[in-house]
Each structure stands twice: as C-alpha cells, then as structure tokens.
Amino acid sequence: MNRVLPEQWPGVAPTDRPKRTGPAPAPPVAVSVPSDAPDIVAQVLARLQPVDPALVLLFGDPGHGLGAVGAQLTKALGPGCTVVGCSSAGEIGPSGYCTDSVIALGFPADSFRAGVCMLRDQAHVPVSDWMATLRRFHADFAPRAGRSCFGILLADAQARQEDVLVATLDAAIPGVPVVGGSAARGLNFAPSCQMVAGEGRTGAAIFLLVETDFAVAEVSFAHFRPTEHRAVVTAANPHDRIIWELNAEPAAEEYARLAGLRPEALTTTEFARHPLLQRTGRRHHVRAIRAVTPDGGLQLLSGIEAGNILTLGNAVDMTRGFAEALDALPRPPVMVLGFDCILRRLALERAGMAEQMSDLLARYHVAGFNTYGEQHSGMHVNQTFVGMALMPPES
C-alpha cells in the first residue's frame, strides 16, 4: 500500500507579516449566513474584507458546497488569507446555537498569523510521518516570542482516528495548547467534509497553527459527575470502538443494570443522561455511547480498550458550570472559538434549555460548531464543551 504523507498545504504557507505595532489588537469577526442563501460569499465578504483576514474558518454545510464557497473566498481574499473549514452537526454563531447556517470567522492579519497542515487520509498515515511533519511544520511556522500560539484540529469523525491524532500532536509539539472538533454532517453520521482553499475531502484531518497578539486560554466544561458504579471493559473491539463485555457480562445488559434501566429502554437520551466516564489523571472524561449493536455491544464515539475502567456518570446543571468556567478567565474574552458536542445540544433542547444556553454563548462571544467529539489537552472526549478563549493582552 502506498504511504499517504501529510503535507503543508501548497500556496497557503504561514504569511510573514510584521508584528502589529498599534495600541490594541484587532479582534476576530463572526458572521452567520443561512446555508441556503444564494449570496453566501457576498455576505461573508461584506463583513470580512474590511478587516483584511489572515485566516477565515468556515463551519456548516452550504447549499452549493463547502468547497465552492471556500474556493470563491480564497480567490476574493487573495494568497495572504488561509481559508479552512468543515461541515458540522450544528453551528454556533453570534446569537448562540443555530442550524442550517454557515459560520464564517475572520481573524485580522493585523493581529493574527496562521499556517495549515492537512492529513488527506487519516487511516493510512503512519504515526511516525505525522509526528515528523508536525515537528517540521511547527519549526517552519516559527512562533515569535511575546505572542500567543495555539493549535486547531478539525478531523473527520467517521475516520475514528482522533485519539491517535491528538495524542501525537501533544507529543510532537508539547507546550502548544490545541483544541478541536470531530467534523460531521448533520445528525445521521453522513460523510463529512474538510476543506482547505476550496478543496474539500472526506476522511481528512486539518491542523492549524495560529499566532496572535491576544492572550489565549483553554476552556473545557462537561456537565457530569462520577457515581460509585464502576465497570471493567473485559472484551472490546478498539478499531470499531465497541465494548462487547463489561464486568464479563454482555455490555448493553450490564450498562443498563448499572444505570438502573431496562435493556429495552436504552436510547440516545438515556446514554446522554448516564454517560460512561474514564479517569485520566485527576479528571474524568466522557466516553459517549453512540448505539447498542445488534448483538448487545455498546458502540462508542471515542476509543476504548479491554482493561479500561469506566465509571457511570450522572448529568448535573448544563449551564451554571459553563458560566462559572468562563467567568474564571483572567479577562472577558473577545471571542471563544468553541467546539460543543452535539449530544450536549440535544440534551439541552430536550430539557428546554437551549435558548438559555444560546444566551450564554452569545454573552461570552462563543463561535464555532457542534461536534461528534472534542479534542483538548492531548485527549479526545465526548459530551464536552472545549474552546480557546481570546482575551486582550495584559496591559
């Protein structure tokens, strides 16, 4: 089999722009446009061209295709602007949660610099090549002293390689905070699209390095607490993320017993209310259940292996802790680039709290998309909000 090597995208290498010398950095701009609008590109350009963006992020599934929109924006904004995007399970715009929309985020060249690296086929890239490319990419990007640097990972959820991707990133360029989301298309696990400069692909992963005059801080929030109910994975299929047995019992039956449910009552709603948690260090991370397999296994949205110890979780307040996490930042953010699990959004909608959450997202200037998995701190997780807060620099 031919080796498919990762590459830095031709023609969109990091732009060698001089460091900003103004009194305050120019903040990013968020635009929301209906996905069926005939003039998506014109509406985006009307808002973003005046800020001269070095980077444009697009999230959503426009009617005439993400690749076509990306190609037109790339042509209009010129070679100094990197245009990157992916399809999504839902969007987060200036007014909070939105659907059937395209979110465009423009990062002004006055205060941002960006470079991009693409893995065209996650499934066939050796880890050693991915790691070597990341190290070379980071060295070529050459972050400057006195400026913040962070990474963004956009990965096709159906390729099921996020655990390896993010762990390799963490090992290859330690010290660079990385957040990201697993790309989807709607709620039916349809093939997703990852796009750079107008070329759209499935099965790919995109990694960006971003340098800025703004201060940055990682944010994460999961609305669960561990219970006393624990289980050992005694049989699993790691490649397909399936648990066959928990505590040496059929996985779905044992999960139902631990959660106090009848096996026939296992639904997406119950999975969201009673997730499986895996402890890493001092924190528990969600290993979300996607479905019960025909033969009684549990298919997950994150990696799993025999021998893993899992704890049953219970949902707690989905909004209060979110506000507390953002209020704990040193300064109010000008934007939070956010990746929010679609299962959280669905749970909020069922609880009648989606509007309340949208108000919070708008208040803290969150913009991004709903995911099938989230990446932060070297981990791939589920049912979690992760984000990168951009704050004014210390005076």
Mean pLDDT of 263-284: 82
Mean pLDDT of 87-94: 95
Mean pLDDT of 345-357: 90
pLDDT at 6: 55
pTM of the model: 0.86
Residue 179 pLDDT exceeds 50: yes
pLDDT at 339: 97
pLDDT at 8: 56
pLDDT at 336: 98
Q: What is the distance between the alpha carbons of residues 181 and 100, in angstroms, rounded to a whole number?
A: 18
pLDDT at 330: 94
Quick one: which of 302, 297, 249 has its CA closest to 278? 302
pLDDT at 283: 74
- pLDDT band with cut points at 50, 70 and 90 for residue 22: low
Name the percent of the chain lying above pLDDT 90.
61
How many CA atoms lie less than 13 Å away from 37 in the CB half-sphere? 16
Mean pLDDT of 49-64: 94
Residue 242 pLDDT exceeds 70: yes
CATH 2.60.40 applies to domain 224-315: no
pLDDT tens for 299-341 read 988 888 898 899 998 877 788 888 988 999 999 999 999 999 9
Residue 239 pLDDT exceeds 90: no
Q: Residues 192, 157: contact at Cβ < 8 Å?
A: yes
pLDDT at 10: 42
Quick one: which of 369, 359, 363, 355 has its CA closest to 332? 363
Q: Which residue has the higher pLDDT, 86 or 10?
A: 86
Q: What is the distance between the alpha carbons of residues 92 and 321, in angstroms, rounded to a whole number?
A: 19
Residue 209 pLDDT exceeds 60: yes
Domain with CATH 2.40.30 in the chain: 224-315
pLDDT at 30: 97
pLDDT at 13: 46
Residue 14 pLDDT exceeds 60: no
Mean pLDDT of 73-84: 96
- pLDDT band with cut points at 50, 70 and 90 for residue 351: confident
What is the C-alpha end-to-end distance of the chain, expressed in Å?
A: 55
Q: What is the distance between the alpha carbons of residues 326 and 238, in angstroms, rounded to a whole number?
A: 35
For residue 28, what is the DSSP state? P
Residue 236 pLDDT exceeds 80: yes
- pLDDT band with cut points at 50, 70 and 90 for residue 295: very high
Is beta strand 309-315 parallel, antiparallel or unpaired with respect to 276-280? antiparallel
Alpha helical stretches, state H, the chain: 40-48, 66-77, 127-141, 162-172, 251-259, 268-273, 320-327, 342-350, 354-363
What's the chain's average pLDDT?
88
- pLDDT band with cut points at 50, 70 and 90 for residue 21: low
Name the percent of the chain lying above pLDDT 70.
93
pLDDT at 151: 97
